[in-house]
Structure 1
Amino acid sequence: MAFGSVERFVAKNEIEALFHRYAVLATEEPDIEKMATVFEEGGVFRLPNGVIVKPRNLLEVVRGNNPKFIRHHVTSIDIQFVSPTEAHTRSYFLVTTDVSSVDHWGQWRDVVRKGSNGQWLIADRSVVVEGGDQKGWFRTTYAE
């Protein structure tokens, strides 16, 4: 199948919806099973320190220090298609928590793939934190 402008438009919207779904699910009481469904089987989540977490183990990210409130906001999603079934993306995020209204911010760098069922999923997500409140949840949880 050719990857024309209509297919590219649909794929772009599906990928953006995938990222927004992740952001909506990543709260103080996440449903890890639902969060894992935005990743392909064997997908990875890379922390800023390089540690790889399997999607089904995403609760490890909070290191037992769950914030009482956390919301992820995603914007400026850049999608570069490398084939009709794979794209490399970069998007900016901002996180608000009960500890700090602007807790931390940065980029998600993703490889997304379209599965045989036609669904786009995250194959590899690298979190790049560019800054944050020194007294915020992220900086106190990841003090290293």
Structure 2
Amino acid sequence: MAYLNKPGTLERTIALSEIQAVLHRYAVLARDNAAWDQMALLLTKDGLYRLPNGTVVKPSEMSTVVQGQEAKYIRHHITSIDVHFTSDNEARSIALYLAVTDKSAPDHWGQWEDVFRRTEDGAWLIADRSIVVDGCDPKGWFGTTYGVPKVVKGTE
């Protein structure tokens, strides 16, 4: 089990590359005028998308997360990615991100905590995504849309 954690194997390199490609594709698509239908394809059909406020949506409902208040300009930047394989067909990852919007730079920051699953056709897709916001500019897009997180990580 989880032979994909063994360093130096071609299989591990391929799996890591495919998972990182999904993470980067999501970051490119999660922008103003987001391509929600394309973003949904990065999740499994039964995937879950979890927001910091406890809201959970299916991939087909992802467009509802902006609550009708999509930012005029938003870009997500991934700074670090850590992947651990829990089996030959599942992996957990943490990707640190920083978001820049028309209202603030940085606007909000945190991590995407994902469970990836290898599908029957061999593709690695997100089966479960939890968006963690470590902090935000209270006057930025996230702060005015969702509110400021009660606890900013590192200050508890």
Structure 2 length normalisation: TM-score?
A: 0.88
Which residue does 1:59 correspond to in 2? 63
Task: Report deviation, 1:74.
Answer: 1.1
Matched, 1:44 2:48: yes
Could you tell me how far 1:68 is from its partner in structure 2?
Answer: 0.5
Could you report, residue by residue, the CA deviation over 1:15-66 in whole angstroms, capped at 9, with x for unpaired residues?
0000000010111111211110000011011000111011111111111111
Q: Out of 97, 109, 120, which is 1:105 matched to?
A: 109
Corresponding residue of 1:92? 96
- Aligned to 2:37, the other structure's residue is in SS state helix
2: CA distance, partners of 1:100 / 1:33? 27
Q: Distance in 2 between matches of 1:131 and 1:58?
A: 22
Report what 1:133 is aligned to: 137
Instruction: Give, in whole Å, the separation in 2 of the partners of 1:55 and 1:104.
Output: 22
Aligned length: 144
The more displaced of 67-76 and 102-111 is 67-76
Q: How far apart in 1 are the matches of 2:93 and 2:133?
A: 16
> Percent of aligned positions with the same letter in both sequences?
50
Match of 2:120 in 1: 116
- Quick check: 1:14 aligned with 2:15? no
Alpha-carbon distance in structure 1 between the residues aligned to 2:147 and 2:98: 19
Pick aligned residue for 2:80 from 67, 76, 79: 76
- Does the alignment pair 1:32 with 2:36? yes
1:133 CA drift (Å): 0.6
Q: TM-score, normalised by structure 1?
A: 0.95
Mind listing any 5+ residue stretches in structure 2 that lack a counterpart? 149-156
Cα-to-partner distance string for 1:83-116 (whole Å, 9 max, x where unaligned): 1110011110100000112000001000001111
Counterpart residue number, 2:152: none
Q: Secondary structure at the match of 2:22?
A: helix
What is the alpha-carbon distance in structure 2 between the residues aligned to residue 58 and residue 97 of structure 1?
A: 19
Q: Distance in 1 between matches of 2:43 and 2:92?
A: 14
- How many angstroms does 1:11 deviate by? 0.3
The RMSD of aligned alpha carbons is 1.5
